[in-house]
Structure 1
Amino acid sequence: MTASTYHHSTGLRLPFSEQEIISRSRQGVRRAEADRVAALVGLTDKELASTLGISASYLHRLKAEQVLSHEASERLSLLENLLQHGLDTFDGRTTTVVNWLRTPLRELDNQSPLQTLDTVTGYTLVDRVLGRIDHGIFG
């Protein structure tokens, strides 16, 4: 990846296409990339592990240069796309995105968006909620 593929104001990779997500999943993404993404929005290791579908203890054992599993790599790509969508929705305000991720929402059965990201379906649901916010449709 080149520096030109990153959003200049957020530091996140510009949204991945579905084909890019498949390719990254198959190749695997390094732990260091997961840490970089987590740091951009202040995710704890426990939160990051949950969004990647792995245990926090397994995440801690991975060295920065080690590659995540196919499934965890796919989830990291989905997380990056979701975070970019959130930053676009909330005008690049990282603090707003971080707070929103941790706020229980009626549309998500009173769970926070972050709590639903332990499943792939949760990523879809959270992305839909952001889409409704984009269009001025609230809860």
Structure 2
Amino acid sequence: MNIHPEIKLNRGRPSKYSNKVIKITKEYLVECAKNNSTPFIEELAIKLGVSDGTLWNWSNTHENFNEVYEMLLTFQKLDLKRKALSGQYVSKIASLLLSNDHNVSLKRKMELEAKITEKKEINLTPDQRKLYSEAITKVFEQIYSQPSITLS
């Protein structure tokens, strides 16, 4: 495509993508499984000599690569969960990786059970209500400071 007769539009470097990329990716996944190591997109990108963004682009433009790319992400998600649950990984780090790379969100679930035997009326000023509310909130935050992982 020519913008002006004297100006040519350069299209950039030729892609490094080939069927060899799929082969190397599969070998990387097998290597990770054998060594009990978590696969990472960034590590594969370095192995292939490209950026992680390039891998993402290839996954969107090459159907065959998308299959192994998704396989890597699935393997990574499962491995992160297993190792976090077994204590091999610090749960907060695994939670961060899962939320950033796999759209797994952290949710807090609180259950409160109380038995009221007698109803008493307490008259508080607005300032007293605010102080009690803040104190109760702090207690709940301390008790429930460890969020649980749930899939969204």
Question: TM-score with structure 1 length normalisation?
Answer: 0.25
Tell me which structure has the larger Cα radius of gyration.
Answer: 2
Which has more helix, going by share of residues? 1
Higher strand share: 2
Bigger relative contact order, structure 1 or 2, given CA contacts below 8 A and separation 6+?
1
